[in-house]
């Protein structure tokens, strides 16, 4: 028998890349692109410009709850430390 290590419950964004569905990229908090939406961010949840060669590493921050998630996997990596912070 494998002895499983207890690990934190992983959260995922639903359908991170399937933009053909109405429930595209649904956050566990219920946020969606057509509600509060998401903002490209760094690994601390600070807004970044998603430009080629820039700092962006395919992370998005939920504008509702501050969860930071990876675009490809939809895996929630953490939360913005002080909530969502905009450059504006
Ligand atoms: Zn959220």
Cα–ligand 1 centroid distance for 42 (angstroms)? 16
Tens digits of residue pLDDT in 28-82: 999 999 899 999 999 999 999 988 888 899 999 999 999 999 999 999 999 997 6
Cα–ligand 1 centroid distance for 48 (angstroms)? 18
- What is residue 81's predicted lDDT score, i.e. its pLDDT? 73
SS3 readout for 61-87:
EECCCCEEEECCCCEEEEECECECECC
Total-model pTM: 0.77
Cα–ligand 1 centroid distance for 7 (angstroms)? 21
Question: What H or E segment, with its residue span, contains residue 60?
Answer: strand 59-62
Cα–ligand 1 centroid distance for 56 (angstroms)? 19
């Amino acid at each position: 028998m494998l002895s499983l290590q207890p690990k934190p419950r992983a959260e995922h964004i639903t359908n991170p890349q399937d933009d053909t569905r109405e429930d595209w990229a649904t956050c566990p908090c219920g946020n969606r692109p057509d509600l509060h939406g998401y903002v490209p961010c760094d690994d601390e949840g600070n807004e970044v410009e998603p430009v080629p060669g820039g700092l962006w590493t395919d992370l998005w921050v939920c504008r509702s709850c501050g969860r930071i998630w990876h675009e490809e996997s939809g895996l929630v990596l953490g939360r913005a430390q002080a909530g969502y912070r905009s450059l504006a």
